[in-house]
Amino acid sequence: MEAPRFAIERQRRRSRRTWFAVSTVAVLAILAIAVPLAVILPRKVHGPPTAVILPLYSYPLGGAWDPLFRTLDSSHERQYTVVINPNDGPGNTSGPGEDYLAAIARLNAYANVRTIGYVRTKYASRNITSVMQDVTTYAHWSTMAANLSIHGIFFDEVPSAYSLDVLQYLSTINDAVKSSEGIASDKLIVHNPGTEPDAPLVLNSTDVIVSFEDSYDIYQTKRAILRSLPLDRSRYAFMVHSVPPSVGFKSLTSQLSTHAASVFATKLSQNFYESFGSDWSDFCHSVPV
């Protein structure tokens, strides 16, 4: 028997209302999940994955390194390269003091940290035997206690102008690092001329070149040059101090990380490697991961 027309129409209206009600409930359920997650989860910083490179020149006593440890505890995905500098290098003794022993071992316990030792070259004027002795001293640390190995060397005050003597000097000290059994893992070598060196001084054995180390104002004058650097961004580090209070770290680290895979920035204008500014955590969490 054929259903009356009004009954069919009533059934259609009932079906439409049921579909609308179910759809509304589904949408509200999705929003109930998505909106809190959008509020709770941090917004991903835009930019290619980038490491923090930190010259850590303060003595590890009285909580001096606590800002770093707090950041590491809250930042497991971000990579950190930490430059250890007990006394303008490893010092004259065979190993660091007890305070350094404990602090370095604690740093090395983090999977996202590489510790590297500071060595000054005085623009290739320092006796090369002394430079290589510093490398040997850092390498010896691995025999002193568990988890005390240094993962590479940060050569500071590296010349940027080419000469054959300079080239031989840099090649020799790099070879000393790469051949050292006491330096761990990939034996990272960082050169710090603070500017882009002449092409012959860009050695294959040098992993990272600090091609900018200066104030924010100087950085603004060098941006075009830094954008045109010839190597892959993985080979460069930029270090910027005296960042004005009005400049946000998110925009700055986005700029820096486009052309350098290791960055450091601070609003401090003095003692910026000997202390942590109040902006330290903000900077770290602005670095893309």
Closest listed residue to residue 150, CA positions, set 121, 98, 119, 114: 114
pLDDT computed for residue 155 by the predictor: 98
pLDDT computed for residue 30 by the predictor: 44
- 51-286: CATH homologous superfamily? Glycosidases (3.20.20.80)
Distance between CA atoms of 44 and 171, rounded to whole angstroms? 40
pLDDT computed for residue 13 by the predictor: 52
Q: Are 258 and 48 in contact (CB under 8 A)?
A: yes
Domain boundaries defined on the chain: 1-42, 51-286
Torsion over CA: 278, 279, 285, 289 (sign):
negative
Give me the residue label for tokens 């439409």: 16
Phi, psi dihedrals of residue 8, rounded to the nearest 5°:
-65, -40
C-alpha distances in angstroms, 245 versus 52, 53, 248?
20, 21, 8
pLDDT computed for residue 145 by the predictor: 86
Q: Are 209 and 236 in contact (CB under 8 A)?
A: yes
pLDDT computed for residue 282 by the predictor: 97
Instruction: At 7, list the tokens.
Output: 């009954």
Distance between CA atoms of 213 and 248, rounded to whole angstroms? 19
**Amino acid (1-letter code) at residue 198:** D
Burial (Cβ within 10 Å: 0-12, 13-18, ≥19) of residue 189:
buried
CB atoms within 10 A of CB 7: 10
Closest listed residue to residue 183, CA positions, set 249, 115, 124, 129: 115
- Strand 51-56, strand 208-215: pairing: unpaired
pLDDT computed for residue 185 by the predictor: 84
* Successive 10-residue mean pLDDT values, the chain, 289 residues: 45 50 44 44 68 97 96 94 96 86 96 98 98 96 91 98 98 97 94 98 98 98 96 98 97 97 98 96 96
Residues 6+ apart with CB under 8 A from 76: 111, 112
Q: What is the pTM of this model?
A: 0.84
**Amino acid (1-letter code) at residue 167:** L
Distance between CA atoms of 93 and 109, rounded to whole angstroms? 24
pLDDT computed for residue 93 by the predictor: 80
pLDDT computed for residue 31 by the predictor: 43
